[in-house]
Amino acid sequence: MSLASTDPLAGGHGAKDALDTGNGNTEFVKLNNQFIVPVIEDGRVRSMVVMSLAVETATGAKEQVYEREPVLRDKFLQVLFEHANAGRFDGNFTSTRNLDLLRRSLREEARLHFGNLVVGVLVTDIARQDV
């Protein structure tokens, strides 16, 4: 299993907690439940990628994110499937280039629904299990 963890939300905070960055302008909203993405090769599942995401928002936007989380999850899954279909979960899938591209794509999708309330999307945990 390949594993990389960068969870700024670890440390006993509940799934619906939002953490202030300290500057008073943004907060992090940890999305409930992990995302599971199959990686397909020759029509078969070759591996599974499991990841956790958090959305960095303007302070006070937490409830708006949770109210629309099902829609956001659906849109994020589509971005993740496209990332997988482009082969970006193959090989060194945790390279800076790959993760920057993924974060940017997720942020763009989130901004379609929340506008500039979304500052960014963080990959807080990611693992790939080859099958």
**What digits encode the pLDDT tens for the residues 9-58?**
333 333 334 444 446 699 999 999 999 999 999 999 999 999 999 999 99
Is the pLDDT at 71 greater than 50? The verdict is: yes
Top-level class of domain 2-7+17-130: alpha beta
Neighbours of 107 (CB within 10 A): 18
Tell me the two tokens of residue 39: 């990686």
> DSSP for 16-43?
T-EEE-SSSSEEEEEPSS-EEEEEEETT
Confidence band, pLDDT 50/70/90 cuts, at residue 7: very low
CA-to-CA dists, residue 87 to 61, 83, 96, 102, 122, angstroms: 34, 7, 15, 12, 20
User: Which residues, 6+ apart, have CB-to-CB distance to 32 below 8 Å?
Assistant: 15, 16, 69
